[in-house]
A and B are shown apart, each in its own frame.
Chain A
Amino acid sequence: MAVLLIVEHNNKELKAFTLNAATAASQIDGEVHALVIGNNCTDAAKAASELPVVKKVIQVEAAHYENFIAENFAPVILKLAENYSHIVCSANTFGKNLMPRIAAKLDTSQISDIIKVVSKDTFIRPIYAGNAFATVKSNDAKKCVTIRPTSFDPCDNSGGSAPIENADAGDEFTTTKFIKREEIKSDRPELGTARIVVSGGRGMQNGDNFKLITAVADKLNAAIGASRAAVDAGYISNDHQVGQTGKVVVPDLYIAVGISGAIQHLAGMKESKVIVAINKDGEAPIFSVADYGLEADLFEALPQFLEELNKLNTIQK
């Protein structure tokens, strides 16, 4: 049986992590169908049909899908579920919110946040903030799986031409109402997919000092991250948090500034290809995972860093 991929999009474009989830889906089974639920989401459905790994797109439209409320999405997916062996989605806040609602109704034990597909029923997932990897086998007939996007490469996003079918919308779930979304818009690369991430922690002391991080990030075309302590203290908004209870990032270069390296923070960044730590405490645990450690006061090091970057003729983008 085929795999149903729940597409995350904004009605116009696919969210970047859908491409990673599509790769994982295609590793489970070659027959991947993409489900696009939304309001005026034809553009998103078309984008999904262009993914070469997708064999069919199912588009479901209604006004009450505008804001991606899980209570509205679940019945549509449940109606389609009988044709599929697996239902998959990214393990970000969209998928985490939605998938358990489907699994419970199908009486299936969900497998969360997989980092590897071993076979159709066996997967590897991190537990205890990534301090152990569990290989788990699902004995359920239907499998609900969420995928850690950064553990799978994004699939190609052009060249495919899967047929697009329409399916019926479900009823509106009236006791949950969307009020507003405060998205922090920026021209910077997205934290989850950026090639370089520069993160600040409690050592930054206040929100204003984050401009030192911003200046370096601008120069490197990097995304900005933060520790939970920095977010809790109000230095920066929650969408920047990296870690067990924030985002998982796997950039080519992760620069941790004024971050001690608690296991909950490491859970979100220790798979990065190259890690740099700037910390004035030579004993800070962050140094135990850093490829390059600089024991220094960040208030001196960051301006110098910017100066050195300015001296370079070229910087990779």
Chain B
Amino acid sequence: MKILVAVKRVIDYNVQIRVKEDGSGIVTENVKMSTNPPDDNAIEEAVKIKEAGKATEVIAITVGEEKSQETVRKALAVGADRGIHVKADGIIEPLAVSKILQKIVEKEKPDLVFMGKQAIDDDCNQTGQMLSALLDWPQATFASKIDVKDGKLEVTREIDEGLETIEVNTPAIVTCDLRLNEPRYASLPNIMKAKKKPIEQINASDLGVDISSKIQQIKVEEPPKRQAGIKVSSVAELVQKLKNEAKVI
């Protein structure tokens, strides 16, 4: 069984982002970038399945500018076997990413595609579902537990009401929640070994799909700032303020 894992390079989740003064976007120069956090869970799960003898190959793929290769390299350092970097500059919307992934899936014929449930930059939460629609595959989104069975997966999904369990036949798409597992750190020897693992580079323009933006970003602005209020000195004062000043209880 072959598992393809999509990893995206995003601004590190610890960075306090800044909006550009001209409203054209977010400041990305000299900002720490890293792998989209749930994508680390997606790689970890794929590698664990391989270590359990249930998969034969784990391929990490990213779509993006030259530097997104680092994201694939990191996936190789924690156990992916090889990488694919589809080169594309500028804004690539989830629909375009899913069309690119569709082409790669048709070529690589994986049994499973693992991805993150949402990217923490645009918070779109779309790409996996779009890919499964394009392929007409089942989708198991927001996964917090995966059991691999013969030709099937049993997946526990985190939904608003609690948990839902579904069974999907392979080939299938799974989008991963942060609670799926605890991603490992890359050891130094494995980082060295990863440097020798192959990364195939493909130009998005050679795949014959329309990746032009269909959403025009008109402006990006800072949300209204919330002002810090006051500190109260006792619980009694707090309750009195909530009752008589804020009038919420």
Contacts and interface: CB of A to CB of B under 8 A. Distances in A.
Contact of B248 (A134, A184, A273, A287): A273
Contacts of A69: 166
A132 B214 contact: no
A7 B98 CA distance: 26
Given A110-B124, A132-B220, A181-B164, A93 B235 contact: no
Interface stretch (B48-56, B77-85, B188-196, B226-234): B226-234
Interface in B215-245: 215-223, 226, 228-232, 234-236, 238-239, 241-243
Contacts of A192: 160
B163 interface: yes
A292 B245 CA distance: 11
A104 interface: yes
Contact count band on B: 35 or more
B93 interface: yes
Interface in A216-261: 220, 228, 231-232, 237-239, 244-245, 247, 252-253
A219 to B, nearest CB: 9
A104 B154 CA distance: 25
Contacts of A110: 94-95, 124, 126, 130
Contact of B16 (A136, A253, A263): A263
B231 A295 contact: yes
A132 B215 contact: no
B162 A126 contact: no
A305 interface: yes
B88 interface: no
Contact of B160 (A93, A99, A140, A293): A93
Contact count band on A: 35 or more
Interface stretch (A26-34, A56-64, A170-178, A207-215): A170-178
A182 B124 CA distance: 26
B138 interface: yes
A175 B230 CA distance: 56
Interface stretch (B104-112, B114-122, B199-207): B114-122
A41 interface: no
Contacts of B144: 238
B19 A179 contact: no
A293 B233 CA distance: 9
Interface string A266-310: 000010011110000010000111111111100001001101110
B57 interface: no
B179 A129 contact: no
Contacts of A111: 215
A126 B125 CA distance: 13
Contacts of A18: none
A108 interface: yes
**The 10 A-B residue pairs with the shortest CB-CB distance in the complex, in nearest-first order:** A100-B129, A291-B229, A104-B130, A175-B169, A100-B126, A104-B133, A176-B138, A308-B239, A304-B235, A109-B214
25 contacts: A71-B139, A104-B95, A108-B214, A110-B126, A127-B121, A128-B120, A129-B123, A135-B220, A176-B169, A178-B164, A178-B166, A181-B165, A184-B161, A196-B248, A238-B163, A274-B248, A289-B228, A290-B229, A292-B231, A305-B235, A305-B238, A305-B239, A308-B235, A309-B239, A312-B243
